[in-house]
Amino acid sequence: ENNGGGGSGATGGGQQTASNSSGPTCTLDAYGATKVDFSKAVIGFSQSEAEANPFRITETQSITDEAQKQGVQLLKRNANSNLSQQISDIQGLLAQGANLLVVAPLNSEGLEPALKAARDKKVPVVTIDRKLSSATPCKDYLTFIGSDFVAQGKRAATQLVKATNGTAKVAILLGATGNNVTTDRTSGFTDYLKANAAGVQVVAQQTGDFTREKGQSVTEQLLQAHPDITAIYAENDEMALGAVTAINGAGKKPGTDIKVFSVDGTRNVVQGIVNGQINGDVESNPRFGPLALSTLKDFLDGKAIPQTITIQDKEYDSANAAAQVGSAY
Amino acid sequence: MIVRLQRQGALVVLVILLALGGLLFRTFLTTYTLGNLAVQASFLAMIALGMTLVIISGGIDLSVGSVYALSGVLAAYGSTRWGLAGALILPLLVSGVIGLIQGTLIARLRMAPFIVTLCGLLFARGLLQLITSEGSTTYLVPPGSAFRWLGDGTVLVVIAVIAYLVGGVVLQRTPFGMRLFAVGGNEDAASLMGLPVARTKISVYVVSGLLAGCAGVMSAAQLGSGVTVIGVGLELNAIAAVVIGGTMLTGGSGAVSGTLAGVALLFVIQELINQLGRFNSNMQNVVSGAVLVVVVVLQTLLSRARR
Amino acid sequence: MLRAVGVSKHFAGVQALREVDFELRPGQVHTLVGENGAGKSTLIKVLTGVYQPDAGRLELDGEPVSFSRPLDAQAAGISTVYQEVNLVPSMSVAQNLFLGHEPRNRLRLIDFPGMQAQARELLSELGISVDPRRQLRTLGLGVQQMIAVARAVRARAKVVIMDEPSSSLEPREVETLFAVIRRLHERDVAVLYVSHRLEELYQICDTVTVLRDGRVVHSGPLADIGRLELVATMLGRELSGDRTVFAGEHHSTDATVLRGKGLRRRTVLDGVDLTVHPGEIVGLGGLLGSGRTETMKALVGLQPLDSGEIEVAGQRVRAGSTPAAIRAGLVLVPEDRKAEGIIPNLSVRENIVLAALPRLSVAGIVSKRKQREIVDTFMRRLRIKAASPEQKVGELSGGNQQKVMLARWLAMSPKVLLLDEPTRGIDVGAKAEVQALVDELAGQGLGIVLVSSDLEELVEGADRVVVLREGASVAELTGDQVTVDGVMAVIADDH
Amino acid sequence: MLKRTAIRDYGVYLALVVLVVINVVITPSFLTGDNLRTQLVQVVPVLVVALGMALVIGTEGIDLSVGSVMAIAAALLPLYLGYGVVASILVCLIAGAAAGLLNGSLVTFAGVQPIVATLALLVGGRGLALVIANGQLKQLYNPDLLALGTSSVIGIPLTVLVALVLVIIVALLVERTTFGRQLVAVGGNRRAAEFAGLPVKRTLLTVYMLSGVFAAIAGVLASARLTASDPSSLGLLIELSAITAVVVGGTPLTGGRVRVIGTVAGALLMQLISATLIKHDVPASVTQMLEAALIAAAVLVQRERRNGK
Ligand SMILES: Nc1ncnc2c1ncn2[C@@H]1O[C@H](COP(=O)(O)OP(=O)(O)OP(=O)(O)O)[C@@H](O)[C@H]1O
Ligand SMILES: Nc1ncnc2c1ncn2[C@@H]1O[C@H](COP(=O)(O)OP(=O)(O)OP(=O)(O)O)[C@@H](O)[C@H]1O
Ligand SMILES: [Mg+2]
Ligand SMILES: [Mg+2]
């Protein structure tokens, strides 16, 4: 049978580790939060999207598991990709008595009213996986734990340049339009190429909406319009897998004739690297539970918390994939 | 009395659910929770108001969700360039023009409203992406801007309430309202009776566009920025609210009060499901769909019993 | 006053008007006559801005005018009752009367109490006793038609045009209508009146214009032209016999082909008993709203019954099921052709075979050949005038639409034919044809139930008349009793 | 006059031809077998859904739930593969029929308006699909199923052949069967259909069930091609594409008429538009705006003209 990747790796897989602990910090006093006993605290978790892909499933599962492990009460709400819903979710969690909040923002802007509601109740907010771009840490929210999407794009570009020896015609499968994950993973990728790899030419950028189906059909079209494409950068793993199917369908060998790079680090793609169909994958680790909760605990204990906690994402390539595939999510 | 209640099927269900929520959850019937719901509902309320008028006139407007998002972005952009005036005028102008174009295509060129506004949906979303360089630029409302005052929760709710009062009076007590009912009830007859059918239809799409635009402006003021990802699928919520409120999609009958109850109902149901906290996101959707079926069937049966 | 000069109008495949010259003078009651499809309604629609003429021009008070929509014509003082009742069914009577001209209060909002009062006054003036707050759709067609008239005369217009306003009216309402027209005439308003009931024209009109195939073939004082001559001018040929072609007596047998017993349904039917023998035409008499249509709908299962029994040729038929009634051989040609009869977008062929489809198909596949046979037979037999069997029914004239409806049901070889106002809006020629056809069908042993608000037609046609009052059958007239006066007496007699 | 009618009736074919010609000129390697095959393969799900949608629209209805029904079918597909491909596909089709039965019952018996009746399943159906699949995308390994998605017969992909057969069936159904004619009559004038003794309710129920079954077929075909069951994104927004294809193909939303071949042309047209824009790397924003304009233009050309206006 198969394993589409996902939940199973939530606790078993690689833990997140913070990479930088320098920079400004935040304390209970500076933030002005109410001090509560962590073990008696009620944590509210606002998830942004439905648990319908490995990343979200693992993320929610990780937080649920960790809360259980720590023995704290957890309230969960899911905004189903609706920003307005997320605002009411956060307000609803506050109304239900949450005194610590973990928020996976749907968008890097627009949570202001919700943050204000938390502020009014002196409830600290840890944002995970997506950074709020114009809100101020230690003021509007406590801290951000997550990956740097621009860096992910850059690392994918680095992998690509290395694997293609600096000459390639690459097509980009963009994520959903208007999503800032898409924007960041694109700019990180293209900026790096512009600065460092004159031999790599981007011949097309089309959206694959983060889905396998679109990834496949767009790749099919692009391969016909640009038969000279030698590499594909997909901004998530689903699209990369779709691209692999499309390349196969066009009678070419994915991983060899056309090299494929992607971001996410799901098990299917890491397995794809092992099989030689995919050439590189940058991890975006969704297991936020332990780090998020320990951060909140430290904060309540009066420790200074870094205002940005960037997690260390792994990178998979043919050298390490076989060894690491078990810990991928 | 009973007839009255039947006509207000949504209101009855709403009251029952509120009472149920109050009994089940200590944190439900509080001013905090209900107040927050009211604020969040105000955007959909504005959009559903326009949708009600359009549907009464026998049409439908699928573009509202996109126009809403587009106006939000334009409002934020306007506020960065020209302050409060820009934040208000620019989005309303654009959404009004989109409504005008749609209305003209529908009324003068006799194209199907469903298709015209579906094109409007795509077009407005595309335009939004164009002006935000494919969603990568976010316009922030300047922190000190007077425009932010508009985003205060109370102000938002007051705007929506006023809109409904005005909407109710226009619909029930003005010749324009009568024309909407007539056009929706029997367009050919309305035309033969010498009513300005085309003008009426165009106006109603302009009004719908403006109300969606207004909702977008309100959201930009509340969110403090022009968020590009909002409003997807909102048109369907608006249609659901209108229908739950007892307005027939066939046109010619309906009331804005029902729509308001319908909007409230959607939010209350969602909040109840959330407070139950028992379902994961996927199950939540199953429950929402099931509840929608029950409410709509109830509403339909009630209104049929009236006949 | 209102003049059309050299007006032509073309529709896909049809030249509806050919260089029509027409003039309407103040104080004139002018009638426009012609066969179905002669172009009367089209001319009216051109005069009132619904259609734009392909050629020619309009003049009002000697000035050239052009109306791009009905609103313009109304603004110029022309008010019109169009042929199909054109009101908004979902709105109240008062709203329908005042749409576009609502009385307003000081706040510029609609003054509903004032509107209701004015409506009540207007209606009582026209002898219509109906609550102005009632939804229009809850009213019978006849009442709706009177309300359309009320709306047209409410505005102080210079020209009032009425396209077949009397087609579903009872003699009593027709009298009221004529009183209204006389008052308009006294006020020097020009009236254009269209009707297929010739006797009406001679009562009320002074001038006549005859259209044939979109051409004006005669125009002049009505008094100068006799009825027979008028018909001949309209048809372009002589019509055998005078006004109606029902043969009268039929040879019915003693067997019962339809028996309805104690039909009851809350608020509409209160005990209707009805028996029909093969080869017999039974008339249903009664005032507007007396339940004739309801009875017929109940018989064919379009209305559920609270109690009562229906038998066709001795077999019980399940009440409330149309397919069951049709299988039993009981079929209805409904009164409201447009809403309940034709499917306008489908072709003549498809409309005819619609009900018969299952028996024309093998394993669900329709046989083209069998279809063609049936369609050919009936188009020939009923002399249905259409460009081809593939023409859309919606484009045919009323009379031909009615024949298509008849064809649909005759194709089912029914045992009993229920006809609700079968000649409504049909020209003399077609009417005679339909009547002759009905006669012929009865002659072939069909049981027929006939409803007609044209009392003469009812009396001429029916062998027996059952009179309904408030949803109950109250009397039965046979033999010599079947006269206009006789029926009137029973209908009016309410104890 | 005649020319006008011709443009109206054949507008969609004309537009298709124009687009093909434009592509032959501006798009490299457009007239290759590979490319044409790709376009056909990609259009299959939308086309199959649109066939069912055309029937529903013919009755003056609409079915918004098709995308979610596709997702349900996709979610069910891997569960029963153990019993063989045929069995598991059958399960999917039954699920589609059941979904259609729900929609149809709401419309016919409860009298709920189609757009709202099917909206409920649009919302709930995808949730249900995700619940069934536990939120997971599942890779499909069954060789028979994958053959369905990837193999060809005499150069024509199997999925395209399936779609072709369905097109022929639906065309015959509409034109040649009692059911088809009754369907059109119900859409043309529901009350008159009732008066004519047609089985109106049964017809409506069947139509919605067919739409559900077709959506399920589309779900199976799309999954087979994808070599995965992806209930979270399969068929998202396909209802809009399908409705557009139907309407662009000349079937009016007001019912009473179904144009099957037009629907095929409509679907192909939409597919070609999007393929052209992708191949020429037009950004998403412009793509959407252009698509909107082109749909509007296509519909404008063939709208029902009012006589006398
Ligand atoms: N909208 C239309 N489209 C196509 N043909 C039409 C249209 N309206 C009328 N016609 C045709 O024009 C001709 C004249 O029709 P018109 O309705 O004017 O006849 P009429 O004299 O009013 O008949 P009737 O006595 O049945 O009302 C007919 O042949 C009719 O079929
Ligand atoms: N004059 C009237 N005032 C109020 N309601 C009326 C009037 N005439 C008819 N109706 C309504 O119309 C409904 C239909 O009556 P129905 O059609 O069975 O009567 P009918 O005898 O066939 O009359 P018609 O000649 O209009 O067909 C009745 O239920 C009644 O409520
Ligand atoms: Mg006429
Ligand atoms: Mg009647």
CA separation (Å) from C121 to C144, C147, C351? Answer: 17, 13, 44
Tokens encoding D74: 């996709």
pLDDT above 70 as % of chain C: 96
**Which residues on adjacent β-strands are paired with residue C15?**
C10
In 3D space, the residue among D10, D47, D13, D56 whose CA is nearest the CA of residue D257 turns out to be D56
**Which residues on adjacent β-strands are paired with residue C469?**
C472
The band of A127, judged by pLDDT with boundaries at 50, 70 and 90, is very high
Q: Do chains A and C touch (3 or more CB pairs under 8 A)?
A: no
Query: From the CA of C399, how far away is ligand 3's center (Å)?
Result: 10
What's the CA dihedral at C376, C378, C379, C381 to 10 degrees? 110
In angstroms, the separation between the Cα of residue D213 and the nearest Cα of chain C is 20
The band of C168, judged by pLDDT with boundaries at 50, 70 and 90, is confident
The DSSP bridge pattern shows strands A315-317 and A280-283 to be antiparallel
Averaged over C207-220, what is the pLDDT?
Answer: 92
Pick from A254-263, B232-241, B298-307, C67-76: least confident: B298-307
Under 8 Å between Cβ of A328 and A265: yes
Quote the pLDDT of residue C62. 87
Residues in contact with ligand 1 (CB, 6 Å cut-off)? C 11-12, 14, 16, 34, 36-42, 83, 395-399, 427; D 307
**Residue located via tokens 């199997």:** D158
- Cα nearest neighbour of A85 on chain B: B40
Under 8 Å between Cβ of D216 and D95: yes
Dihedral pair phi/psi, residue C192, rounded to 5°:
-115, 125
The band of B264, judged by pLDDT with boundaries at 50, 70 and 90, is very high
Tokens encoding B136: 């990568």
Q: For all residues of chain B together, what is the average pLDDT? A: 91
pLDDT exceeds cutoff 50 at B307: no
Q: DSSP assignment, residue A326?
A: G
D155/C357 Cα distance (integer angstroms):
41
Quote the pLDDT of residue C383. 83
pLDDT above 90 as % of chain C: 35
C256/A304 Cα distance (integer angstroms):
101
Q: C307 or A9, which is more confident?
A: C307
Quote the pLDDT of residue C155. 75
Q: Is D40 on the interface with A (CB under 8 A)?
A: no
pLDDT exceeds cutoff 60 at D116: yes
Q: Would the CB atoms of B36 and A117 count as touching at under 8 Å?
A: yes
Question: What number of other Cβ atoms are within 10 A of residue B29's Cβ?
Answer: 14
Quote the pLDDT of residue D2. 45
Q: D28 or B240, which is more confident?
A: B240
| Mutual angle of helices D33-58 and D238-248, in 10-degree steps | 80
Ligand 2 atom, smallest distance to C268 CA: 29
Quote the pLDDT of residue B27. 87
The band of A11, judged by pLDDT with boundaries at 50, 70 and 90, is very low
Using a CB-CB cut-off of 8 Å, the residues of chain D touching C365 are 176-178
pLDDT exceeds cutoff 70 at D289: yes
* Ligand located closest to C168 CA: 2
pLDDT exceeds cutoff 80 at A16: no
User: pTM here?
Assistant: 0.91
C183/C203 Cα distance (integer angstroms):
14
The upper half-sphere exposure of residue D227, i.e. CA atoms within 13 Å in the direction of its Cβ, equals: 19
The band of D222, judged by pLDDT with boundaries at 50, 70 and 90, is very high
Q: Is C392 on the interface with D (CB under 8 A)?
A: no
Under 8 Å between Cβ of B286 and D128: yes
Interface of D with C in 179-198 (CB under 8 A): 179, 181-182, 184-185, 188-189, 191-198
Q: Would the CB atoms of D308 and C354 count as touching at under 8 Å?
A: no
pLDDT exceeds cutoff 50 at C108: yes
Using a CB-CB cut-off of 8 Å, the residues of chain A touching D32 are 224
Averaged over B25-29, what is the pLDDT?
Answer: 89
Quote the pLDDT of residue B6. 56
Averaged over C7-22, what is the pLDDT?
Answer: 87
pLDDT above 70 as % of chain A: 94
pLDDT exceeds cutoff 60 at A4: no
The band of A8, judged by pLDDT with boundaries at 50, 70 and 90, is very low
Under 8 Å between Cβ of A165 and A198: no
B89/C59 Cα distance (integer angstroms):
47
| ipTM of this predicted structure | 0.89
pLDDT exceeds cutoff 80 at C254: no
The band of A13, judged by pLDDT with boundaries at 50, 70 and 90, is low
Reported as a single tens digit per residue, the pLDDT across C447-495 is 999 998 888 888 888 889 999 988 888 888 888 888 888 888 887 775 4
Reported as a single tens digit per residue, the pLDDT across D229-277 is 999 999 999 999 999 999 999 898 888 999 999 999 999 999 999 999 9
What's the CA dihedral at B244, B249, B253, B259 to 10 degrees? 30
Q: For all residues of chain D together, what is the average pLDDT? A: 91
Quote the pLDDT of residue A22. 65
Under 8 Å between Cβ of B49 and B167: yes
pLDDT exceeds cutoff 70 at D3: no
Quote the pLDDT of residue A134. 85
Reported as a single tens digit per residue, the pLDDT across B211-226 is 999 999 999 999 999 9
pLDDT exceeds cutoff 80 at D127: yes
Nearest Cα residue to atom 18 of ligand 2: C291
pLDDT exceeds cutoff 70 at B199: yes
pLDDT exceeds cutoff 80 at B306: no
pLDDT exceeds cutoff 80 at D302: no
Question: What number of other Cβ atoms are within 10 A of residue B208's Cβ?
Answer: 32
pLDDT exceeds cutoff 80 at A96: yes
Nearest by CB to residue C109, choosing from B169, B182, B191, is B169
The band of A14, judged by pLDDT with boundaries at 50, 70 and 90, is low
Quote the pLDDT of residue B94. 97
Quote the pLDDT of residue B60. 95
Query: From the CA of C139, how far away is ligand 2's center (Å)?
Result: 6
Nearest by CB to residue D110, choosing from B116, B240, B300, is B300
Averaged over C371-397, what is the pLDDT?
Answer: 88
Averaged over C40-57, what is the pLDDT?
Answer: 92
Nearest by CB to residue B229, choosing from A75, A178, A187, is A178
C431/C103 Cα distance (integer angstroms):
43
Our measurement of the distance from residue C310's CA atom to the centroid of its chain's CA atoms, rounded to an integer in Å, reads 28
Nearest by CB to residue D138, choosing from A2, A210, A249, is A2
Quote the pLDDT of residue A106. 92
The band of D308, judged by pLDDT with boundaries at 50, 70 and 90, is very low
Reported as a single tens digit per residue, the pLDDT across C302-347 is 888 899 999 998 889 888 888 899 999 999 999 888 888 999 889 9
pLDDT exceeds cutoff 50 at D171: yes
